[in-house]
Structure 1
Amino acid sequence: MELRGRLALLAVTVAAAPLALGACTSDRKEAGPAGRATPELAVTPAEGTRDVPISGEIGTVVKHGRVTAVRITDDKGATVDAEPREDGSGWVPSKTLQPKRTYTAEVTATGDSGKTVTRKTTFTTQPKSSKQAITSTMYFAGNRTYGTAMPVTVAFDPPIPKEARTDVQRRLFVKTDPPQPGTWSWVGDGSQVYYRAPDFWRPGTTINVRAALEGLPIGKERVGDADRRATSKIGRQVELEIDNASKQMSVIQDGKLLKKLPVSLGKPSTPTSSGKMVIMEKHDFTTFDTTGSADPYVVDVEDAQRLTWGGEFIHGAPWSEGDQGYTNVSHGCTNLSAANADWLMGITQVGDLVTVKGTEVKLDEGNGWTAWNVSWDEFAKGSALPVPPGLKPTPTQAPDPGAVAGGSPEPAPSASGG
């Protein structure tokens, strides 16, 4: 039985022009001392623009200077908080604008000469949209502690068509502290988009995510459904390496082998996938129900950790303990003894990397959070926006021994396994 959660999230940390409608409100160039020209400033939406989407933002283009002040107010005089884009090309309201409201933006730019230019524009947002919203899900919750391989994932139903991905990606924002820039990459059918850096997150990193999609026009017939935010931290470095040849799982923490555990993987008719995947959920107790499949069964399991949407888990399987370390007998899952599965639950975090090698089939793109199953160069090709040329892999740094592990998984419906 396949679990299909779908979500939507939007963010961008690469240079991007803001969404804006209409022509620019701009200044006239004024003469200044040689080499110290008066700044030129253009602002969008243009003065008097109507039917601006509620996802609208203030676009700015500056020559011979930089934006030094932005003040946005609504038609009742209340201040609207906004955040600048990293490249300075626009200011994005911290909350989605309200429908059928009038807003005024006053932008000031300061030139090298010290002279300033201020431009004001007033615009009106469109009525509440009657278009159907694309359902989005963000697989990054707030106030959690995740593993170092945790990709920020947004899922969409229906998938985002190629021609709309640039606009969606412009509205996905990720900030990390300490800074560790990355990029977004789309799964081929547009059902998911992942964000990661060239290398694993450093333990102790704080990640702030915003998917500002509410009211965003997506194609001609749909709009984004919600504006979501989440802030969480990265815990200790843990990874699992599972080798079909030896039928052993190596549990590695902070670069050191903690323990090797015997496993039983998928039998030839239902093989386990080989590839790099990420722990998606953790359940002390769940039920696998494959009613309606070619090999139906219903079984209760303990200490289950999801790896794929297709139903591959690591879990306790006392019924196969005699086969673990010797023979593959599962329906695609990684079987552990009850004691080993319980011990492992205390070590792992959602977002930890799991590498399986030597099985009969390869992991399919998008079957789980497959952001690490390709090289960085291949991953970056999936971005709908240009990736900065300087964004290259860096040497892996030693984990912070003081980082805190833990975290709670997202609740999820019962799923298949074996």
Structure 2
Amino acid sequence: MGEIEPKVRVRNSRVLIVGAGIAGPTLAFWLARHGFTPTVVERSRQVRGGGQAIDVHGRAVDVLTKMGLVDAARAARTGVRGMDFVNARGRTLARTTAFSLTGGVAGGSGIELMRTDLAALLLDSTRATTEYVYGDHPVEIEQTGTAVTVGFASGSVREFDLVVGADGIRSATRSIAFPADSYRLHRLGRYIAIGEVPNFLGYDRWETFYAAGSDRRVCYFAGAGATRVMFTKTDPDLDVEQYDDEGLRALLRSHFADDGWQTGRLLDEVTGTPDFYFDDLRQVHMDSWHLGRVALVGDAGYCASPASGLGTTLAIVGAYVLAGELAAAHGDHHLAFARYDRRLRPFVADCQERARRGGNLYVTRPRFWLQMQQIRLSNLPLLRRVMSGLAAGGKERICMGITFPDDEKTPSPIP
């Protein structure tokens, strides 16, 4: 881990962070580094498992490097060597080792690893400097001129100087502390379902995509240490809130039941496991990510959706920028929150726009044809790099498009 900078006396040092996913512990790490006292509360009673492979790109890799975690993150990489597209009979239509649709360009600076592995690294790096409270969550947030009083579901009441919601797209912090008309949830008209399955195809660090039709796709992903399947389908009218867990499993079976390849067994496996995730793709849009002494970070404030392929990068970068602006302002939250909002907003806009344009999850016939050509052409030495970059959809360009507070010789101007 890098050298610890001397702590500077700061105002508003007691910070409650709601959510122990990716953004929350990252923020806790940097707040503690800058002299703040973070407390993280997590609704779950233990570290959440499950999830899909995630990507860390661009400036987020820089953040992990500054944290001294980049080597451990690279050691935990999925190690996926390439990908192919197959038809209903399992015949390979196109194959490449130049890139994968989930992990990006082979040999690039990005890091693909399982979400649980990254979460564990972040947790381990903050245990000594952060108070963690599991199995609880805020039910009341009351601001005064000098502090925030938080009432928890457990019945306890505590006072903090600042509160930061890092509790995901269904953020309780956002719904409690922000007016209902201050945020908008934009549906992208598509859903994903993910679960762990046995590696019954015997893959070695490989992913296979099967497009059953112009509105749906299946991905079988066998990384180092985990095999998962992802189903994705266009369904503009779906409201997941109308279904319970078993209803969502039945819905998935009905949508993919008659498809070919290995879909039947994959449906049996994924709907039969407790490690089952199903959600529609949404984005969070807000004109401001802060109100008084409360701010939001990551999906809680600006979810781009998994279609962007940049959610983890957004969480890490957002947390780093927020902590950096609080440090630069010596705890002046009015100044720091405004600078955070202004600095991060163009970056968020680019990530969300990538998802709205489809990312790598949409399967329209023209897009499917284009991806097939990119795969085939990437096998030609002269076109390998160009085709790989096109297939990545501009991820690296977007992920380098932000300046950090500590990149500048002088602080960002007062708004």
Scaled to the shorter chain, the TM-score interval is under 0.3
TM-score after normalising by structure 2: 0.27
TM-score after normalising by structure 1: 0.26
Structure with the higher fraction of residues in helix conformation? 2
Larger Rg: 1
